[in-house]
Amino acid sequence: MNDKPIIRIKNAVKTFGTVQALRGVDLEIKHGEVVLIIGPSGSGKSTLLRSVNRLETLTKGEIWVDEDSVTNKDSDIRKIREEVGMVFQSFNLFSHLNVLENITMAPLTVKNVSKQEAAETARKLLKRVGLADKETAYPSQLSGGQQQRVAIARSLAMNPRVMLFDEPTSALDPEMIKEVLDVMLDLAKEGMTMMVVSHEMGFARAAADRVIFMDEGLIVEEGTPGDIFSNPQEPRTKRFLEHIL
Amino acid sequence: MAEIKSSRIEISDGALIPDKGEHSLFSAWRLAFFGAIAVLVLLPVLFPDPYLDIIKFIPDGILKTFEVTVLSIIFALIIGLFTGLGRISRITFINRLATIYVEVVRGIPLLVQLFYIYYALGKMVQLPRLTSAVVAMSFCYGAYLGEIFRAGLQAIPKGQMEAALALGLSRSQAIRKIILPQTFKVIMPPVGNEFIALLKDSSLVSILAVSDLLRRGREFASTSFRYFETYTVIALVYLVITLFLSKLVALMEERMQHHER
């Protein structure tokens, strides 16, 4: 981990109609850092995450990925999105493409790589997520855990510098959560910068450098997993943790 | 497991789709289809005059009917694609334009549209009859197909677009590579139904003296004065064609459901 921030969020405000999803969030994430964001539903954690690659447009505030402004309307958001991978709660694999095509689609469309090269990278990634034998399967033929691992491989195929995870295990049956977390753990160990919205305590303790607790559109408390889980300072954090532990 | 939304859409516009559960030997579809064929075969055998003459007279008309139908559906699909995209466009002008087109076309009977394009606009540009017919049919069915495309596009889960954008694709790349291929699959059965409806409506073009199936019948009847016999054959031929096509659509739909998780 080096000390320069790769993601900088300044005074992020997002309103949906009359609802204030984010009410002024400041956050910096360093290269190689793994940050877990927790909080009750409606606390704005997903909105914050989705603002980083501009799937949500902030009402106010600024976000940078490295030196590139995400929030500036004139900046090339596609270039930024190439560098920022995202994994969704509902996997969102392309259902008309098989596993290999899912992974090679973006590199072939967006980057100038050859078919062969893209397939080679995809196979390497599939091996890495433990699905080397599934390259011709269609998403509907895979379990949720397998789909999510393919989704991670699909993101990695663009060789991103940051990975965003939006509740990656919430839609999974319990027995499949571990296979996904294991892949994420490996990624963390390899030094990937990760911003994860999740309540997986085990993952937090094993991999997170920092845990952030959000409520009502604000960061209420942050610290190491040990601090937050064992010794929370804010009453709201305590109450929330009592609920989920 | 995430809840996977079914991407089937329900639009009933064309022919009645045979009930998929109906597999008995004497299903309604079989009775109608094979009954019609049997009558079409038996009549000329039993009464060669005039039925054999009629049967010999109409094949050109069948071809013309298919020509009008296939040409129209091709152009209607192209118009429909852009109309559907326009209907979900975020650009207000395009959105309005597409919506107005759909509203206008749906509010005017096809027969009136045919007259309008051939006779009214004919005062300015006189198109050949067949061209007028195809233009009017495509223009009309483009609006219907536009609505099917819109429903199909909207049936694709939002996450597909988001995932594509998050990977760095542009919106138009995402639509071309991710959204449309899935849309085409979803809309196949309703488009099949529109094809059948269009084929039936194509009988209207006989009014412009395009020698389609109905027109050929009329020509035969008006010289032979065998109205009953002629129009019986014409009706049966339409029936056999549409029943055959609706069976195809039903099979297509059944196969799609098999492929669904």
pLDDT digits 0-9 by tens, B239-253: 999 999 999 988 888
Asked if B85 and B154 touch (Cβ cutoff 8 Å), the reply is no
Question: What's the average model confidence in pLDDT over B138-158?
Answer: 95
pLDDT confidence of residue B3: 45
Question: What's the average model confidence in pLDDT over B37-63?
Answer: 92
Report how far apart, in Å, the C-alpha atoms of B77 and of each of B74, B152, B194, B241, B242 are: 5, 13, 10, 21, 20
Distance (Å, rounded) from C-alpha B233 to C-alpha A86? 62
Task: Choose the weakest-confidence range: A165-169, B49-53, B156-160.
Answer: B49-53
**Chain A residues with CB inside 8 Å of B169's CB?**
78, 106, 109-110
Question: What's the average model confidence in pLDDT over A219-228?
Answer: 94
Task: Choose the weakest-confidence range: A47-61, A103-117, B112-126, B159-173.
Answer: B112-126
Q: Residue A114 contacts by C-beta under 8 Å, 6 or more apart in sequence?
A: none
Beta bridge pairs of residue A8: A28, A64
- Assessment of whether the complete model's pTM goes beyond 0.90: no
Q: Which band of pLDDT confidence, cut at 50, 70 and 90, is reported for residue B54?
A: very high
Q: Where on the phi/psi map is residue A130: left (φ > 0), alpha (ψ -120 to 50), or beta?
A: left
pLDDT confidence of residue A50: 97
Q: Does A3 or A188 have the greater pLDDT score?
A: A188
Q: Which residue of B has its CA nearest to A80?
A: B168
Scan residues 132-151 of A and list those with Cβ closer than 8 Å to B: 140, 144, 151
Nearest CA-CA distance, residue A82 and chain B, Å: 5
pLDDT confidence of residue B24: 65
Distance (Å, rounded) from C-alpha B133 to C-alpha B202? 8
Give me chain B's average pLDDT, please: 89
Residue B1 has a CB neighbour count (10 Å cut-off) of 12
pLDDT confidence of residue A190: 94
Q: Dihedrals φ, ψ of A138, to 5°?
A: -95, 150
Distance (Å, rounded) from C-alpha B132 to C-alpha B210? 10
CA-closest candidate to residue A21, choices A223, A235, A216: A216
pLDDT confidence of residue B261: 41
Asked if A165 is an interface residue toward chain B (Cβ–Cβ < 8 A), one would say no
Q: Which band of pLDDT confidence, cut at 50, 70 and 90, is reported for residue A32?
A: very high
Question: What's the average model confidence in pLDDT over A57-69?
Answer: 95
CA-closest candidate to residue A208, choices A194, A190, A219, A229: A194
Q: Which residue of A has its CA nearest to B163?
A: A92
pLDDT confidence of residue A2: 60
Asked if A110 is an interface residue toward chain B (Cβ–Cβ < 8 A), one would say yes
Residue B20 has a CB neighbour count (10 Å cut-off) of 11
Q: Which band of pLDDT confidence, cut at 50, 70 and 90, is reported for residue B2?
A: very low
Residue A229 has pLDDT above 50, yes or no: yes
**Chain A residues with CB inside 8 Å of B185's CB?**
96
Within chain B, how many helices (H) and strands (E) appear?
A: 11, 0
Per-residue model confidence as pLDDT tens digits over A109-153: 999 899 999 999 999 999 999 999 999 999 999 999 999 999 999
**Chain B residues with CB inside 8 Å of A96's CB?**
178, 181-182, 185
pLDDT confidence of residue A19: 92
**Cβ pair A110:B169 closer than 8 A:** yes
**Cβ pair A106:B1 closer than 8 A:** no
Interface test with B, best of A50, A57, A78 (most B CBs within 10 A): A78
CA-closest candidate to residue B64, choices B230, B186, B217, B227: B217
pLDDT confidence of residue B28: 87
Per-residue model confidence as pLDDT tens digits over A96-107: 999 999 999 999
**Cβ pair B178:A94 closer than 8 A:** yes
Task: Choose the weakest-confidence range: A155-169, A184-198, B16-30, B66-80.
Answer: B16-30
Residue B125 has pLDDT above 90, yes or no: no
